[in-house]
């Protein structure tokens, strides 16, 4: 009888624990879905990106590229990035078809050889063009690609924020977890802490200069990434962002990759 009691109470305890846990998961997901609102229904967009890389000694180099995005409502979004500078990579382009379930598809265009090369999407975790961003950081972050857990509320630099933990479901992600600060007032992401495979806090990403487009879609004008291991930083500037530019599926095919300039 005593044993039975023990089993009953421990079962109740675990049930309760699980209940709290699922509550946090639900709340985390809810916050994430709200943050994603600004990203659904945008249709398509075009923007110029400028990357400023700064090393430990303060040496600065620049990268310039153009990015096109197309929303695919039932699946992941499509993106096309074409490099403009440095000059030796001018014309190199990356086409990605993200998928809500399963690995993304990715192709690289090498203009010197006129070659389209399919690449394993696993190779998205390394530094992108020598910057502190990986292709994973730059690609579209579908809600379905993570599991969530609400952690706490916190004031971050004067902004009341929800703090949510998200765990990438992609086994090839470069991160084991990410802690995301989402503003309570407008559901915009302000900061992400990235934890690497060894669960070290390797990078901190901050978003600033949010602007509203078409009265609905909030986009940051600057994203800053600091690598805590190397003290190198990269700042990404979004310039001339435009929505409803008339892009369609046809602009995100291998043929369009071949003529991207």
Partner 1 sequence: MVSSFYRDFTKAFLVISLIFISSSLFSKVEKYGEVSFENRTFSEKGLFGQDKDHSSFTLSPEFYFESEDQKTSFTFKPKIRRDSLDDERNLFDIQDLSLVKVKNSYEIRIGIRRDFWGVTETVHRVDIINQTDQVESFDGEDKLGQPMINLSLERDWGVLDIYALLGFRERTFAGEKGRLRLPFLIDTDSAMYESSAENLRTDFAFRWSQSYRDLELALSHFSGTSREPEFINKSISLKIPYYGVIEQTGLEALYILGGLALKLEAISRSGQGDRFSAATAGFEYTQVGILSSRLDLGWIMEFNYDDRYQESPLALGTRLTFNDMYDSQILSGVMRNEETGETNVFVEASRRVRNCCRLSFESIYFNGGSNTNSIQKLFEYLKQDDFVRFEFIYYLGN
Q: Are 82 and 93 in contact (CB under 8 A)?
A: yes
Asked if residue 125 binds partner 1 (CB under 8 A), the reply is yes
Q: Exactly one of 129, 143, 151, 156 binds partner 1 (CB under 8 A); which one? A: 129
Beta-strand runs (E) in the chain: 44-54, 60-70, 78-85, 93-97, 105-110, 115-119, 146-156, 159-168, 177-183, 189-195, 201-208, 211-213, 217-219, 222-227, 233-243
Asked if residue 255 binds partner 1 (CB under 8 A), the reply is yes
Helices (H) and strands (E) in the chain — how many of each? Answer: 3, 15
Question: Based on CB atoms, which residue is closest to partner 1, 28 or 174?
Answer: 174
Question: Based on CB atoms, which residue is closest to partner 1, 189 or 202?
Answer: 202
Tell me how far apart the terminal alpha carbons of the chain are, to the nearest angstrom: 77
Binding-residue pattern over the window 140 to 179 for partner 1, x denoting contact by CB under 8 A: --------------------------------x-x-----
Q: Exactly one of 25, 119, 143, 179 binds partner 1 (CB under 8 A); which one? A: 119
Region 46-105 residues binding partner 1, contact defined as CB under 8 A: 53, 55, 59, 61-62, 85-90, 102-103, 105
Question: Based on CB atoms, which residue is closest to partner 1, 53 or 189?
Answer: 53
Question: Based on CB atoms, which residue is closest to partner 1, 47 or 191?
Answer: 47
Supply the minimum distance, in Å, between the C-beta of residue 54 and partner 1.
10
How would you classify the pairing of strands 201-208 and 222-227? antiparallel
Asked if residue 225 binds partner 1 (CB under 8 A), the reply is no
Q: Quick one: tokens of 138? A: 């730059």
CA distances from 12 to 15, 18, 19, 52 (A): 5, 10, 10, 55
Q: Exactly one of 48, 176, 186, 253 binds partner 1 (CB under 8 A); which one? A: 253
Supply the minimum distance, in Å, between the C-beta of residue 188 and partner 1.
30
Distance from C-alpha of 238 to C-alpha of 260, rounded to nearest angstrom: 20
Distance from C-alpha of 247 to C-alpha of 53, rounded to nearest angstrom: 30
Q: Quick one: tokens of 53? A: 């890389």
Stretch that binds partner 1, among 33-41, 67-75, 109-117, 153-161 (CB under 8 A): 109-117
Query: Applying CB under 8 A, which residues contact partner 1?
Result: 53, 55, 59, 61-62, 85-90, 102-103, 105, 113-123, 125-127, 129-130, 172, 174, 198, 230, 250, 253-255, 259, 261
């Amino acid at each position: 009888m005593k044993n039975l009691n023990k089993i009953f109470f421990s079962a109740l305890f675990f049930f309760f624990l699980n209940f709290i846990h699922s509550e946090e998961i639900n709340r985390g997901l809810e916050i994430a879905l709200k943050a994603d609102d600004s990203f659904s229904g945008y249709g398509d967009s075009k923007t110029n990106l400028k990357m400023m890389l700064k090393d430990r000694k303060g040496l600065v180099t620049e990268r310039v590229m153009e990015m096109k995005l197309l929303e695919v409502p039932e699946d992941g979004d499509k993106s096309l990035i074409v490099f403009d500078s440095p000059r030796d990579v001018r014309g190199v382009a990356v086409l990605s078809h993200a998928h809500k379930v399963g690995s993304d598809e990715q192709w690289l265009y090498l203009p010197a050889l006129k070659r389209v090369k399919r690449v394993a999407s696993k190779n998205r975790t390394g530094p992108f063009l020598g910057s502190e961003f990986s292709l994973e950081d730059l690609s579209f972050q579908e809600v379905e690609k993570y599991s969530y857990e609400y952690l706490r509320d916190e004031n971050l630099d004067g902004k009341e924020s929800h703090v949510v933990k998200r765990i990438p479901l992609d086994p090839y992600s470069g991160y084991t977890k990410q802690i995301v600060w989402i503003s309570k007032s407008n559901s915009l992401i302000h900061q992400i802490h990235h934890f690497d495979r060894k669960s070290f806090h390797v990078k901190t990403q901050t978003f600033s200069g949010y602007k509203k487009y078409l009265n609905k879609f909030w986009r940051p004008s600057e994203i800053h990434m600091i690598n805590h291991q190397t003290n190198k930083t990269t700042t990404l500037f979004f310039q001339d962002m435009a929505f409803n530019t008339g892009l369609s599926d046809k602009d995100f095919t291998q043929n369009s990759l071949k003529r991207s300039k």
